[in-house]
Amino acid sequence: MSLEFDQPLIDVTMLLADSAQVADGKLYVLGGGLAMVGPKPQPVAVAMLMRIPWDRANLKHNWKLELVDEDGQPVMAGQRPLLVQGNLEAGRPAGLAPGTPLPVPMAINFSALPLPAGRSFEFRLAIDDTSEPEWVLPFSTRPAPDAT
C-alpha cells in the first residue's frame, strides 16, 4: 500500500488571462495563458479552479492571493500590498457520488496593473495559511520600448 503525502490537500489550477468570469458554476477565460504583460498598464485576470476534497466540503476555507516581485517582495498598490483575500465553502450537491472532488471556480480581475517594465512577478495563493509550489503563477513584463 502506497500513501502519498506530498500532494496538496486542495488541487488548484491557475491561469493568467486577459479576463475571466464565473457564471453558473463554470469558469470563462479570455486570452488565457499569458506569460508576459505590459509594459503599459493592462487589465489582467487570475482564473482559478479549485477542487475541494469530499471530506473538506461544508467547511470554510480562507484564501489569499498576493502579487510579489522576483525578490519575493510584495508589489505595492499605493501604500498597501496588492492582496486579494476571501472565504470559500464548497457544499456537496445532492446525488454527487461520495469521494467526488467539489469544483470551485474563481476569477479575480484587475482593471489595470501598473508594473515596471522588464521584471518578473508571481501571484501566490495561500489557502488556510498554507501554500504549495503549484499555487504560484509566474509572469513577466515586457521591456520598455526604446525611446529613440
Measure the CA–CA gap between 116 and 68, rounded to whole angstroms: 12
- Give the number of domains in the chain: 1
Sorting pLDDT into bands at 50, 70 and 90, what band is 148? low
Q: What is the pLDDT of residues 57-92, one digit of tens each?
A: 899 999 999 999 999 999 998 899 999 999 999 988
Q: Tell me, rounded to whole angstroms, the distance of Cα 10 from its chain centroid.
A: 13
Sorting pLDDT into bands at 50, 70 and 90, what band is 15? very high
* pLDDT for 104: 95
Kindly state whether residue 22 falls inside one of the protein's structural domains: yes
Kindly state whether residue 146 falls inside one of the protein's structural domains: no
CATH code of the domain in which 83 resides: 2.60.40.1930
Q: What is the pLDDT of residues 41-61, one digit of tens each?
A: 999 999 999 999 988 889 999
Query: Can you give the pTM of this predicted structure?
Result: 0.88
Q: What is the mean pLDDT of the chain?
A: 90
Kindly state whether residue 30 falls inside one of the protein's structural domains: yes
Say whether the peptide bond before residue 39 is cis (omega within 30 degrees of 0).
yes
* pLDDT for 92: 87
Sorting pLDDT into bands at 50, 70 and 90, what band is 93? confident
Maximum pairwise Cα distance, the chain: 66
